[in-house]
């Protein structure tokens, strides 16, 4: 697969991020039906799926170069967005190998990995990188292996150590998150880091999801979709930066709602890593404005119905109530009331 990149886009201040028509159609729209409730919506992460976003193991799109530059800016301002606990060194190398091999396999025009024993050469053409290093020797890379490779991938990543029949988030590169903090969560167990989520604990969603993940096999990755809403195409909506983006919610009006309000979808992938036995969790973020959603009749009908009937505790958790009515007033006339079929 080859991609035309748009390196000058911004995700803050000037917000020049825009989607091409092809990029709109590859959006992983997250609702298989007209209503939404938390569930263990996990399926095998095999190449192929409802849109082109599912065609690669680690999806790259036209925003790749701009997103890597945005990550660089966030890390410069706040280096703690990337942290890995010392016992996760094997998992760092596993991650580097997993991402390099898959990017090279899925996008040979953009990435090449050559191995001569432990001496590897990595070429990343879109970012202009040509690096020879020794696998397993961190001093042969410009920074630690997990940071090195996740600076060159779209989306956030966390590393989970498995012990005591539980998962612990013992590392991560988290610069494009929907209002949660790696600095706060690092070292927590599966139930602990999911503590703030409403309804799902009582429904047994997290107990079932954890049981499933503890048995995740190497070579059989899985995926799920999660969603929220974001004002402006802003990638970094972290608690650390809340004063910067929180007030945006009060700026939504009936005039600007279509351009300002974005559906934020996370294509989440989970991989068992080969040597460490840890789990790599990818959180690939896609932003699409309501104006772009409105171009697809099934999406605009369905989003209207989901938001209209959304459980108030979920709406509150996602920070939507402040502008929910303005969004519904925009979407309601676009919903012709016709039935929708199941599926995305």
Which residues have a catalytic role annotated?
A: 224
Report d(CA 46, CA 249) in Å as an integer: 37
Q: Does residue 158 touch ligand HEM according to CB under 6 A? A: yes
Q: Does residue 196 touch ligand HEM according to CB under 6 A? A: yes
Asked if 274 contacts 218 with a C-beta cutoff of 8 angstroms, the reply is yes
Count of C-beta atoms within a 10 Å radius of residue 203: 13
Question: Please, which of residues 17-46 interact with ligand HEM by CB under 6 A?
Answer: 38, 40
Report d(CA 192, CA 170) in Å as an integer: 13
Q: Does residue 267 touch ligand HEM according to CB under 6 A? A: no
Question: Of 180, 259, 340, 344, which one interacts with ligand HEM (CB under 6 A)?
Answer: 180
Q: Does residue 276 touch ligand HEM according to CB under 6 A? A: no
Tokens standing for residue 55: 């065609």
Question: Of 111, 234, 318, 330, which one interacts with ligand HEM (CB under 6 A)?
Answer: 318
Question: Of 58, 133, 193, 286, which one interacts with ligand HEM (CB under 6 A)?
Answer: 193
Number of residues this chain uses to bind ligand HEM (CB under 6 A): 23
- Report the residue number, 3 or 233, with the smaller CB distance to ligand HEM: 233
- Report the residue number, 82 or 113, with the smaller CB distance to ligand HEM: 82
Count of C-beta atoms within a 10 Å radius of residue 20: 12
Q: Does residue 197 touch ligand HEM according to CB under 6 A? A: yes
Read out DSSP for 241-262? Answer: GHHHHGGGGGG--TTTHHHHEE
Task: Name the nearest CA neighbour of 110 among 124, 127, 94.
Answer: 124
Q: Does residue 168 touch ligand HEM according to CB under 6 A? A: no
Question: Of 200, 231, 303, 331, which one interacts with ligand HEM (CB under 6 A)?
Answer: 200
Count of C-beta atoms within a 10 Å radius of residue 149: 25
């Amino acid at each position: 697969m080859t991609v035309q990149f748009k390196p000058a886009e911004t995700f803050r201040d000037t917000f020049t991020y825009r989607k091409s028509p092809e990029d709109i159609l590859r959006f992983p729209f997250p609702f298989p039906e007209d209503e939404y409730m938390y569930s263990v919506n996990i399926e095998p992460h095999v190449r192929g799926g409802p849109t082109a976003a599912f065609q690669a193991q680690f999806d790259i799109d036209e925003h790749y170069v701009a997103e890597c530059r945005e990550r660089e800016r966030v890390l410069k301002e706040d280096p703690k967005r990337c942290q890995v606990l010392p016992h996760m060194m094997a998992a760092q190398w596993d991650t580097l190998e997993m991402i390099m091999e898959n990017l090279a396999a899925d996008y040979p025009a953009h990435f090449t990995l050559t191995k001569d024993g432990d001496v590897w050469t990595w070429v990343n053409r879109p970012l202009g990188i040509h690096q020879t290093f020794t696998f397993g020797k961190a001093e042969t890379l410009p920074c630690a292996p997990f940071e090195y490779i996740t600076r060159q991938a779209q989306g956030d990543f966390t590393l989970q150590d498995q012990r005591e029949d539980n998962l612990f988030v013992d590392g991560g590169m988290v610069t494009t998150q929907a209002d949660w903090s790696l600095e706060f969560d690092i070292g927590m167990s599966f139930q602990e880091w999911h503590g703030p989520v409403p309804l799902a604990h009582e429904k047994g969603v997290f107990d079932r999801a954890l049981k499933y993940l503890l048995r995740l096999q190497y070579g059989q990755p899985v995926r799920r979709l999660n969603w929220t809403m974001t004002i402006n195409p802003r990638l970094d909506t972290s608690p650390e930066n809340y004063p910067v983006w929180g007030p945006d919610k009060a700026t939504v009006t009936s005039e600007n709602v279509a351009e300002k309000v974005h559906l934020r979808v996370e294509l989440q992938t989970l991989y068992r890593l080969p040597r460490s036995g840890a789990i790599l969790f990818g959180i690939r973020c896609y932003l699409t404005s309501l104006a772009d959603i409105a171009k697809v009749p099934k999406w605009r009908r369905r989003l209207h119905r989901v938001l209209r009937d959304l459980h108030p505790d979920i709406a509150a958790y996602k920070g939507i109530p402040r502008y929910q009515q303005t969004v519904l007033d925009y979407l309601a006339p676009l919903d012709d009331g016709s039935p929708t079929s199941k599926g995305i």
